Structure 1
């Protein structure tokens, strides 16, 4: 086994969402298969090989997500195709306030119940791809539990905006949360560090009332940035949630200082293992432009995180199409290797 085994499931390329809407304008979805192609090139540029994950035991996934949500993801596209005038992808046209509401039987109502925004259209191949994304995260977790110091999972679709019952922000199954749940089978406490430019609102919601999994997120201030409604510093749960929002446009030094603050909290928590939700969309040239982290900044972050000395599952979250995407992953993985 290599020092840093890397996993990717080629079948996830079949998930090719088309619909997205921003401020009332319909446009192309940004979570494209080409993202994986560029990230695969980054793995190889770091001198690492790519392994295909086996099918995994779904018990950790079923511990994280509700049964009705999983049924919706599995059958929703087929049900949608039976509806009169339905489009090629499931895109909800209503988003109810769920408190006190009754769960609907029809596909239009169920789509609204389980889809938090228009960034997560459910297509013919989404369910199969999302399951293989889970396999990818669990293969990395298994490698770490088998003795690897760290393992990298190139998951598509990403996962950290999906909560137990809801898709959102390109995410359907929460790969990082599922990996953490698997690691809990070996360790009494697990920490998740999320350095995506967007707050990991789904991950926070899943673990907010649990004391055995610490969630730490370093991200752009959500006051006027996705996910908007969660990710503020006052959200602490039972003391096992730490949000470190940064002003929009913050660069390397502020980002790394926040990561250092998060790492100090993780040391105090003393987990047996770490899940790193790796978002490369904090880069200065990422299309979302939330932060201004440089390519060398990712290598510096990797060295700091590796210095924790924890068995680490690295799960790919965001990082969208730019000329720098390959270099950014190579920088992070290279920084991790060099810090060993």
Structure 2
């Protein structure tokens, strides 16, 4: 399977995030690139560099106000006396319709949902090329490839149209789906990350031209808490075009695969031309974020089921954090997809 990656994605190097009131090392480390690159190589993938598609498709998903914020906020933040090296919000509006401040601190609170998306000097460039990686993968699928793996990092599925969160800044899977849509292809996004793809859901929640499906740990007691519940089906024209399949903490291979059957049935009913898989590997039983209990062989079975739909597929990297098996899990998934 062909793969895409850009070296500029190394430039995002977050140091901290806050969990349960405690400042901890950020698990979305650049080291993930090395591990995932090796895992893809073990599956026989060869990497190419992405092309620059410019800002148009990114701007079709994210507001220009938000994009200017991402590009400029770190420089502005560092002008504040005593400011930290990373942009981390300390105040949030109570609603999205609240007034928009000029202050860098206020805008950080408006555009960053939580403390897990710190912005440093290299964040914007890395996020931009992460999105271009997904777009180039989409081009390759449109050009006839059965499947392509996009090593997009930082990840994207928690990013809304004007809001970063959960290690994510630009929603790579949504941007790729929009590209397919504009090329005349009906795109379904299947999110298999352990966390609900809340940003993806939010972007397409009132649209009927992209189907969004997410299998994830039940958010009633798990991030992102406020989104991803079963009753969330879409609104307006989008009603019935969003499917959430929350699973109990600790769910293993067998029950996960049953949920996947439901997800794939919805994708078939939608009449999709192409699938964008938001490929989180953090459903793994030993992932540091501990939500579900998928095994390494289980990832191959998940991939085999998705491949069985018979549609061109773009695999966009989302979560999956450092453990000795992370690369093995990617190898298992990619080989499973190709029937190896």
Match of 2:21 in 1: 24
Deviation sequence 1:187-243 (CA, Å, 0-9, x none): 352100000000000000000000000000000000110000000000000110000
CA contact 2:185–2:274 (8 Å) conserved in 1:
no
CA contact 1:187–1:271 (8 Å) conserved in 2:
no
What SS does the corresponding residue of 1:228 show, helix, strand or coil? coil
Shift of 1:57: 3.1
Within the candidate set 12, 19, 26, 2:9 is matched to 12
CA distance in 2, matches of 1:307, 1:83: 54
Within the candidate set 193, 197, 200, 2:197 is matched to 200
How many residues align? The count is 336
1:124 aligns with 2:121: yes
Match of 2:289 in 1: 288
CA contact 1:187–1:272 (8 Å) conserved in 2:
no
What SS does the corresponding residue of 1:11 show, helix, strand or coil? helix
Deviation sequence 1:163-186 (CA, Å, 0-9, x none): 000000000000000000000012
Match of 2:81 in 1: 84
Q: Which runs of 5+ in 2 are unaligned?
A: none
TM-score normalized by the length of structure 2: 0.97
When structure 1 is superposed on structure 2, of 197-206 and 18-27 the one drifting more is 18-27
Match of 1:322 in 2: 323
CA distance in 1, matches of 2:28, 2:96: 30
Match of 1:74 in 2: 71
Shift of 1:43: 0.6
CA contact 2:111–2:164 (8 Å) conserved in 1:
yes
Match of 1:161 in 2: 158
Within the candidate set 215, 219, 229, 2:216 is matched to 219
Q: Which runs of 4+ in 1 moved over 6 A?
A: none
1:209 aligns with 2:206: yes
Quote the RMSD (CA, aligned, Å). Answer: 0.9
CA contact 1:188–1:212 (8 Å) conserved in 2:
no
When structure 1 is superposed on structure 2, of 178-187 and 210-219 the one drifting more is 178-187
When structure 1 is superposed on structure 2, of 8-17 and 123-132 the one drifting more is 8-17
Shift of 1:99: 4.2
Match of 2:232 in 1: 235
When structure 1 is superposed on structure 2, of 44-53 and 155-164 the one drifting more is 44-53
Shift of 1:98: 2.3
What SS does the corresponding residue of 2:216 show, helix, strand or coil? strand
CA distance in 2, matches of 1:130, 1:75: 13
1:48 aligns with 2:45: yes
CA distance in 2, matches of 1:113, 1:234: 27
Shift of 1:311: 1.2
Shift of 1:310: 1.0
Q: Which runs of 5+ in 1 are unaligned?
A: none
TM-score normalized by the length of structure 1: 0.97
